[in-house]
Structure 1
Amino acid sequence: MYRFTKAAVNVTSQAVRQVRHASSVRQDFHSKYGNMLLAGGALFCTSVWSYVLTQTGLTWNLSPVGKVMPKEWRE
């Protein structure tokens, strides 16, 4: 049982060290590239939606008021 406990503590301490290292790497990545990625994503999203809205020829049918005409009643 002692060996199992010692191995579990060792694995736990290694996991803590890895998490601390990963969090410092993540902070460095975000401080270097965070604003650039945000701006690039916003530019990409804006360009795709502007293409969809202007070039694809979709009919959006926002409101049917005034567009739907009733048919004449036939007896």
Structure 2
Amino acid sequence: MYRFAKAAVNVTGQAVRQVRHGSTTPQDFHTKYGTGVLLGGAVFCTAVWSYVLTQTGITWNLSPVRKIMPKEWREAEE
């Protein structure tokens, strides 16, 4: 248990030092490319949905109000 506590204190001490100095030494993927990937994904998603909404000819039928009429009620024959 002592080794675990000592290692935990050491890790938290390293984290505090990295935060105080402003950044970690090796830059990770998210720091380098995170904004670009996020913007690229947003542009791709917008482009695909724009194409689907304008070019595919899908009838979306968003509101069923006054479009679905109930059938006439028929009495069961006895």
Equivalenced residue count is: 68
Structure with more helix by fraction: 1
Per-residue CA distance 1:15-64 (angstroms, 9 max, x = gap): xxxxxxxxx653x553x111111111100000000000110111111112
Identity percentage over the alignment?
A: 69
Displacement after TM superposition at 1:70 (Å): 5.3
| More off after superposition, 33-42 vs 58-67 | 58-67
Secondary structure in 2 matching 1:58: coil
What's the TM-score once normalised by structure 2's chain length? 0.49
- Structure 2 residue runs of 5 or longer lacking an equivalent are 1-23, 74-78
Give the structure 1 partner of residue 41 of structure 2: 41
Pair 71,29 (structure 1): closer, same or farther in 2 beyond 3 Å: closer
Pair 40,72 (structure 1): closer, same or farther in 2 beyond 3 Å: same
Give the structure 2 partner of residue 64 of structure 1: 64
What's the TM-score once normalised by structure 1's chain length? 0.51
Q: CA RMSD in A?
A: 3.7
Displacement after TM superposition at 1:67 (Å): 2.0
